[in-house]
């Protein structure tokens, strides 16, 4: 069940359907100021916050304010790459079956190349759009990608088409998600496939376990929209994809121990790596350590399956096929 409140005087029209909503998902953000509303007919969360210049912001400011560490320390392209390149297996599992030596692939918002580098040597072309100039420099120094720091329509890729277009945790940052998905549609060859991943509005820590401080952790100023299965599909329909050519996968990034930590401590673990890694318990007794590791791993697997069955995973990954 989605958790929201009504607060005196707080209403805002839904940017998609224009109906006025008084459902406040939060009035307190992790960073910055703003109010997140929920539109019941679109099942869409939307931020009423300060308008800002998206391109100028991501060119320089973003990495200073965002960090993978709970203490908000500044982070760099190399550091991000070192951490997140290890946790790309779910995305790869979905995309690798469609990769061949002829594949031309474009990633929108590639960050420091932590996903894309896994495909090096497996395709004909790997193209990256990334607004953060530090990340572009890092990719240019380390990889053979074709890189642009412009929006798709201003980039050298604007008049080209691709077999695969992917974008992870980017759509929710864009001021006009339908326009972004129209670019994805334009960038695909007929019969081409897109993979778009966003945080799930029905995140289990938020809605099922109702962890008080997770609310302020989940909602932040750079996320302009929060999608559910319904609103993500609707945005793709609005952008020209066909209903029968879209499939939602419920994907879970953090493990059971991370969730238990939040539930019991009402706060995050010290780093993201523990919660994203396979569960491994190391003690003085190797047999007991192995037994506990195996028991917890099996329970973790069953837990994630349960979250998927009930649509309550941390992320949604939608697979879209462009009409022939
Ligand atoms: Zn609406």
pLDDT band at 51 (very low <50, low <70, confident <90, very high): low
Does residue 272 share a domain with residue 191?
no
Residues with Cβ within 8 Å of 104's Cβ and at least 6 positions away in sequence, in order, are 123, 124, 125, 127, 160, 161, 162, 163, 164
pLDDT tens digits for range 119-148: 999 999 999 999 999 999 999 999 999 999
Residue 138 CA to ligand 1 centre (angstroms): 40
Is residue 67 over pLDDT 60?
no
By mean pLDDT, which of 12-21, 60-69, 80-89, 229-238 is the weakest? 60-69
Residue 244 CA to ligand 1 centre (angstroms): 23
Residue 52 CA to ligand 1 centre (angstroms): 23
Does residue 125 share a domain with residue 246?
yes
Per DSSP, 244 falls in state: G
Does residue 292 share a domain with residue 246?
no
Residue 15 CA to ligand 1 centre (angstroms): 7
Does residue 304 share a domain with residue 246?
no
Does residue 277 fall inside a structural domain?
yes
Residue 38 CA to ligand 1 centre (angstroms): 8
Is residue 26 over pLDDT 80?
yes
**What's the structural domain count of the chain?**
2
Residue 237 CA to ligand 1 centre (angstroms): 14
Residue 21 CA to ligand 1 centre (angstroms): 8
> How much of the chain exceeds pLDDT 70, in percent?
94
By mean pLDDT, which of 9-18, 56-65, 273-282 is the weakest? 56-65
By mean pLDDT, which of 163-172, 197-206, 266-275 is the weakest? 266-275
Q: Is 12 helix (H, G, I), strand (E, B) or coil?
A: strand
Residue 13 CA to ligand 1 centre (angstroms): 8
Q: Is 68 helix (H, G, I), strand (E, B) or coil?
A: coil
Does residue 113 share a domain with residue 73?
yes
pLDDT tens digits for range 179-196: 999 999 999 999 999 999
Is residue 71 over pLDDT 50?
no
pLDDT tens digits for range 198-253: 999 999 999 999 999 998 889 988 999 999 999 999 999 999 999 999 999 999 99
Residue 261 CA to ligand 1 centre (angstroms): 35
Residue 231 CA to ligand 1 centre (angstroms): 9
Residue 18 CA to ligand 1 centre (angstroms): 6
Q: Which domain holds residue 286?
A: 256-308
């Amino acid at each position: 069940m989605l958790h929201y409140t009504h607060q005196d005087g707080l209403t805002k029209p839904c940017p998609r359907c224009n109906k006025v909503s008084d459902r406040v998902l939060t009035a307190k953000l992790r960073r910055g100021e703003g109010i997140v509303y929920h539109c019941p007919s679109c099942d869409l969360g939307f931020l009423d916050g300060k308008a800002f210049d998206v391109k100028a912001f991501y060119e320089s400011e973003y990495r200073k304010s965002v960090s993978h560490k709970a203490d908000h320390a500044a982070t760099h392209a190399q550091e991000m790459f070192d951490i997140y390149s290890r946790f790309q297996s779910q995305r790869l599992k979905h995309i690798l079956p469609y990769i061949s030596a002829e594949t031309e692939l474009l990633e929108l918002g590639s960050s420091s190349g932590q996903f894309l580098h896994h495909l090096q040597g497996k395709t004909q072309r790997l193209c990256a759009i990334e607004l953060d100039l530090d990340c572009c420099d890092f990719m240019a120094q380390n990889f053979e990608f074709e890189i642009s720091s412009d929006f798709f329509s201003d980039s050298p890729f604007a008049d080209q088409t691709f077999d695969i277009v992917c974008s992870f945790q980017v759509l929710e940052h864009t001021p006009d998600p339908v326009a972004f998905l129209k670019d994805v549609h334009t960038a695909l060859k007929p019969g081409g496939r897109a993979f778009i991943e966003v945080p799930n509005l029905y995140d289990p820590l938020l809605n099922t376990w109702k962890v008080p401080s997770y609310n302020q952790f989940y909602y932040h100023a750079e996320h302009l929209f929060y999608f559910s299965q319904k609103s993500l599909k609707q945005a793709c329909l609005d952008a020209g994809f066909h209903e029968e050519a879209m499939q939602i996968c419920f994907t879970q990034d953090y493990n059971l121990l991370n969730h238990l930590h939040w539930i019991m401590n009402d706060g995050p673990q010290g780093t993201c790596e523990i919660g994203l890694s396979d569960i491994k318990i190391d003690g003085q007794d190797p047999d007991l350590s192995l037994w506990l590791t195996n028991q917890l791993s099996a329970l973790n697997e069953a837990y994630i399956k349960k979250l998927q069955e009930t649509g309550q995973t941390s992320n949604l990954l939608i697979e879209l096929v462009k009409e022939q």
